[in-house]
Homo-oligomer: A and B are copies of this chain.
């Protein structure tokens, strides 16, 4: 084994625009003194202030970083030693913070940049970040009620608060006989719902028929569902992605779903699980929940899950309530509060109508017993039986802090400001005849492109728009957007949702798009 290197040199990384703005205090604490003070209150205070200052400085200068770094694979690995230090260097914490500033920050994609319009936002706030910090400081492990009673009960309270704030049907909340939990990600939520559905169905038809179960979604559904189905042992050939169409706003068609389920049933297979999406990843399409539930109910016992990872946050506004109409009949819903509701990564709330099905599949009980905590008069739960993991973090704390400190009206104002900015962007796109909006804007995502140069020029249009995105993202002080390919159409995605984004950033982003388009079209003609 190579001798460990004790110091970390920094070579060849361009400093960020204003990295001098992030100050890192240097002191002369000896390594021995450091290791004697692993959890000392004064040491925590001293280093904690440094971290708070570091983050505050980062926020102050965030708009000046290129959103996406121009680095090549291996840029960081090449600069770090092969081994951890044997002993810490003097004042190692300050040295490490300097490396974060000079070495790591310049190599990150800055999800919180006001010019980050790619993917969906990583929604953040002072309160969300500090809620995470507080939970990390308190560091409890609420896997059962007894393992940290207040953490479990706060989670129960907060999921009901959030569910009501999002206008979810009462039967999904503890107050209505259902219940919720806060997991890390939608992947986990969908996996848990699917496993609960699977075991409920197999208890009915026999465990050996796992190979006959079929999972349904649309071709717009997030890969998370396919991943969950694979993990749960659903055969890959039993995964149905029903095609959607542009004329139908890329929503899942109930008749097409019915036909697929009928075909499978006729072939001796067993329709198991439907994942409907409110706000698809590519274009924020909304699947028609009520009609899909009606189809599912015709194929007895199909579990309907609603993935509202992104748009779930918008449900806090009554004007978006219609997008989840019919949710009284679904079995489970999940949404990522870390996407648009000021709760920093990670934070996925999930609600289920029948907690007993979750617990039967994931709990320590070995038998399939229908047993609702509420039905038994318990008023607490052991959350280890509600998720894929036993160890869990105290995520409820940050959600509670966000709701306390901003209130439901504050969250509405937050969502509405982004929707308004996206509407502004959409209006600018529509005002330029060279462009078109490709999918209806429902929330704060605008899908647009340069129109095809010729009526049958779809392929050329895709090429053109691909180049446009490349050039837009190459402008180092410009916006960072992503793309989608839906129904054969390549489009640019401008997702407004970063907490720091203001109208001027949206206007500037559009200016860059226009300029780049003009330049590309000129070159094309020339």
Contact = CB atoms under 8 A, between A and B. Distances in A.
Given A139-B129, A149-B107, A231-B231, A87 B346 contact: no
A409 B397 CA distance: 35
A76 B184 contact: no
Interface stretch (A286-294, A325-333, A385-393): A385-393
Interface in A34-56: 34-35, 37-45, 47-49, 51-56
A145 B185 CA distance: 19
Contact of A227 (B1, B75, B207, B388): B388
Contacts of A80: 154, 157
Contacts of A499: 38-39
10 contacts: A38-B126, A51-B134, A52-B52, A54-B137, A71-B150, A76-B157, A77-B153, A83-B161, A84-B404, A88-B405
A269 to B, nearest CB: 13
A499 B186 CA distance: 33
Specify how many copies of this chain sit in the oligomer. Answer: 2
Q: Is the interface of A mostly helix, strand, loop or mixed?
A: helix
Q: Which 6 A-B pairs have the closest CB atoms?
A: A233-B233, A107-B150, A48-B52, A132-B136, A55-B137, A133-B133
Given A1-B164, A56-B45, A149-B71, A96 B401 contact: yes
Interface string A99-122: 010011111111110000001001
Contacts of A41: 56-57, 59-60
A172 interface: no
Contacts of A222: 390
A426 interface: no
B391 A184 contact: yes
Contacts of A346: 391-393
Interface in A311-350: 336, 338, 342, 344-346, 348
A95 interface: yes
A58 B211 contact: no
